Amino acid sequence: MPRKQIAQFEVPYLQILDAQGQIDPQLDPQLPTDELLRIYRWMVLARATDQRMLKLQRQGRIGTFGPSTGQEAISVAAACAMGDDDWFVGAFRELGGRLVRGEPLTSPYLFYNGYEEGNLQPESSRQRLLPINIIVASQCLHAVGIGYALKYRQERAAAVAFMGDGATSEGDFHEALNFAAVWQAPVVFISQNNQWAISMPREQQTRSQTLAQKGIAYEMPSIQIDGNDALACYVAVREALQRAYDGGGPTFIEAVTYRLMMHTTADDPGRYRTSAEEDEWWQQEPLGRLRTYLTAKKIWDDDQEEALQTEIKAEVDQAVVEFEAMGNFLPDIPFDHVYGTRHASIEQQRREFLTNLEQEAGDA
Amino acid sequence: MPKLNMVQAINLGLAQEMARDDSVIVMGEDVGVDGGVFRVTDQLIEKFGAERVLDTPLAESAILGSAIGMALAGLRPVAEMQFSGFSYLMLAQWEGHASRYRARTLGQFTVPLVVRMPFGGGVRALEHHSESREAYYAHTPGSKVLIPSGPRNARALIVAAIRDPDPVVFMEPKHSYRAFREEVPEAEEVGKIGKAQLVQEGNDLTVISWGAMMRPTRKAVAAVTEQRGAGIEVIDLLTIAPMDAGAVVASVTKTGRCVVVQEAPRSFSVASEIIALLNDEALLYLEAPVKRLTGYDVVTPYFGREKSYIPTVGRIVRGIEETLDF
Ligand SMILES: Cc1ncc(C[n+]2csc(CCOP(=O)(O)OP(=O)(O)O)c2C)c(N)n1
Ligand SMILES: [Mg+2]
């Protein structure tokens, strides 16, 4: 028998709005004006919050954090495309999407200032927003389990999992994709390929030509999109969600974007990349091109922009004031939540802790 | 002699061993071009090239698993876990292979490798960046676990770890990374694995600690000595496993009183092990219960609350006094 091909694959690519903000009319999803403006507003708020956090960190008012500037489009558009019943399973660079899902503006400040209170979701929300996950790729598996539970309970909903490009090297990532496909679980995997995992460039992370093809290996529809194009992000996630709701199983989306800032505020990108590269990617950042499109569409103008910037600045200022007024962080809270029920030895240690605390107050 | 901090001292040890032995390979996430997120491997890639300083993809199990293969084949890999909090992804390779290759092949196959990992709190770091879990590794038979407390012993011990015939977990107390400098001789110094250091002699009480807790411990000892003129013996464990039982027992049989200071949670810990050891070998010499000054058995709090969870100088002073007065 002659040698032959038994399987062939293609990796589709989607960009709707190019770096100059020009739309491909054939691909224009014709989103309603209020939805477009909603996406834009969240992206602007995410950028403003991120930049404010950088300032606060430099002033010692919050601790180390990983900025998400430049990556607003994908997590915001995904969250806007999601329904209330879907689960948002993030890593640590989805600030915008988290805010869309109802996270209070004070939460990132709390979290990055070392308080578990920053993980609390408002009682009013459906609480389908998991806290930040720092252990790279680990959350991908949780999304699979959530997807399975949704399917089991016959809910018309899906789990949306975010991870980085570096994350695709972890075993947890591959195991998650495999489980999701085998179970045909309603999961949307979104890899934010921001070209870097700390100092490791994407080309050294994996020899694969695209990250998207990794999903194909597990037999799930997979696509690479321009992750700085909010419209492509929205469309790709909406399609993947629809498929998941309809019993079509998981999807893998590689969103090509760029980490415009440092990995975290403790990192110095000057050690491993050039500012010329950063400048080049600034030309493709997501906010400007969406604004160009909205302006061309005549649903946005300079006055509206100015008003929005003023409004958002006030909102961000207000959140900082609120955060800094929060003072009642009970010291022994960790003893409350070791287990779901009280345990004598933990309570005994709590008493010891409180006594030590009192005595230590006198030490200074 | 140059005065180095712990980061520079470990870097010196690594560079010297790489120069001495071309089978030594450094590998891990961001250890090359970036020089490691704490700069412990700074400049090594410039000095020894990308073949010997491997910036690996992001996968801890793969880092240890492939290091095991290298060691089986005659190399001496020094792998870095970026933080101990992410080392659990390699735990299956550690427990299932690194620690037991020698035993299961009756010594025919061995894996001389080192896994370095920063650990411990006090640096206002994010979640998973401040735990002390030395007991996990120490609990696994076949594991050697080292914890230096200062630049000089860090340099000597990393050298010893690299030359050791067995797999070594080298846990670096990140709070001490840049906290102080010491004179570190350029000339070779090889630490002794399995040996504790008698930091200071005394007849009234023994204090045992390791890693970052050595600094508050020594401050507390100085304070109690000054106030009460007590003779306090101080032991820096340096090797957690296999523990220097002889040094611990000899000291406590002399002093009859003992305080153990550790940052890790209390239960099922290294401090617990020391007490069990003293129960076995020194019970009749004890004049007071052995005291554990430790972290609490709670999920390590985020850094907003971490300060009061780590033993302080004041807490150690009171613990020593209570034990002296018992
Ligand atoms: C399991 C694990 N290993 C190492 C780390 C340390 N670390 C945090 S982020 C990061 C790089 C992640 O890169 P990528 O997945 O591309 O996400 P990005 O930071 O670019 O958003 C590393 C190595 C971690 N958090 N978890
Ligand atoms: Mg990345």
Question: What's the ipTM?
Answer: 0.97
CA-CA distances (angstroms) from residue A335 to A109, A121, A344, B131, B133? 23, 21, 11, 16, 19
* Residue B150 backbone zone (phi > 0: left; psi -120 to 50: alpha; other: beta): beta
The closest-lying atom of ligand 1 relative to the alpha carbon of residue B29 is 23
CA separation, residue A252 to residues A70, A95, A221, A256, B165 (Å):
21, 21, 6, 13, 45
User: How remote is the CA of residue A196 from the centroid of ligand 2, in Å?
Assistant: 4
Interchain CB distance below 8 Å, B312 and A363: yes
pLDDT band at B282 (very low <50, low <70, confident <90, very high): very high
Instruction: Please tell me whether residue B170 adopts helix, strand or coil conformation.
Output: strand
User: pLDDT at position B13, please?
Assistant: 98
**pLDDT at site A126:** 72
Span A41-65, mean pLDDT?
Answer: 98
Spacing, Cα B32 to ligand 1 middle (Å) = 16
Interchain pair B124, A172: CB under 8 A: no
Tally of CB atoms within 10 A around A326 = 13
Mean confidence (pLDDT) of chain B: 97
Q: Which of A77, A80, A107 is nearest to A92 (CA)?
A: A107
In this structure, are strands B114-119 and B76-80 parallel, antiparallel, or unpaired? parallel
Tokens matching residue B286: 């004890």
Q: Is the pTM of this model over 0.95?
A: yes
Determine the pLDDT at residue A88. Answer: 97
Scanning every residue of chain A, which has its alpha carbon at the shortest distance from the alpha carbon of B300?
A: A334
pLDDT at B158 over 80: yes
Residue A122: the pLDDT is: 82
Distance CA B295, CA B297 (A): 7
Q: Which residues from chain A sit within 8 angstroms of residue B308, using beta carbons?
A: 331, 353, 356-357, 360
pLDDT of residue B307: 87
- Per residue in B11-59, pLDDT (tens digit) is 999 999 999 999 999 999 999 999 999 999 999 999 999 999 999 999 9
Cβ contacts (< 8 Å) between B223 and chain A: which residues? none
Q: Which of A174-178, B201-205, B307-311 has the lowest mean pLDDT?
A: B307-311
Distance CA A231, CA A18 (A): 10
Cα(B62) to centroid of ligand 2, in Å? Answer: 19
Cα atoms in the Cβ-side hemisphere of radius 13 Å centred on A174:
9
* pLDDT over 70, % of chain B: 100
Please report which helix (H) or strand (E) contains residue A354, including its range.
Answer: helix A344-363
Which pLDDT score is estimated for B175? 97
Testing ligand 1's pocket by substitution, the residue of A136, A254, A260 carrying the most ligand atoms inside 8 A of its CB is A136
3-class secondary-structure state, position A42: helix
Best of B37, B60, B86, B130 for a ligand 1 pocket test (most atoms within 8 Å of beta carbon): B86
Record: contact A204-B303, CB cut-off 8 A:
no
> What is the Cα–Cα distance from A243 to A14, expressed in whole angstroms?
17
| Separation of CA A198 and ligand 1 centre (Å) | 7
Residues within 6 Å of ligand 1 by CB: A 93, 134-136, 164-167, 194, 196-198, 259, 263; B 29, 58, 60, 82, 86, 89
3-state percent helix, strand, coil for chain A, nearest multiple of 5: 50, 10, 40
> Kind and range of the H or E element at B275?
helix B270-281
Calculate the alpha carbon distances from B279 to A200, A278, B252, B265 in Å: 50, 62, 11, 21
> H/E element holding B239?
strand B239-241
Residues A103 and A316: beta-carbon distance below 8 Å: no
What average pLDDT does range B193-212 have in this prediction? Answer: 98
Confidence band for B1, pLDDT divided at 50, 70 and 90: confident
Average of pLDDT values for A206-225? 98
Structure tokens at A69: 């500037």
- Per-residue pLDDT of B222-268, as tens digits, reads 999 999 999 999 999 999 999 999 999 999 999 999 999 999 999 99
pLDDT single digits (tens) A269-285 = 999 999 999 999 999 99
Contact between chains at B37 and A345 (C-beta distance less than 8 A)? no
pLDDT, tens digit (0-9, with 9 covering 90-100), for A87-130: 999 999 999 999 999 999 999 999 999 999 999 988 877 789 99
> Which residue in the block uniquely carries the two structure tokens 């996950």?
A133
- How far is residue A281's CA from residue A19's CA, in Å, rounded to a whole number? 10
pLDDT at A60 over 90: yes
Best A271, A336, A337 member to test B by mutation, with max B CBs in 10 Å, is: A271
Chain A residues with CB under 8 Å of B32 CB are 199
Domains of chain B: 3-183 (3.40.50.970), 197-325 (3.40.50.920)
pLDDT classification of A364: cutoffs 50, 70, 90: confident
Q: Residue B212 burial (CB < 10 Å; 0-12/13-18/19+)?
A: buried
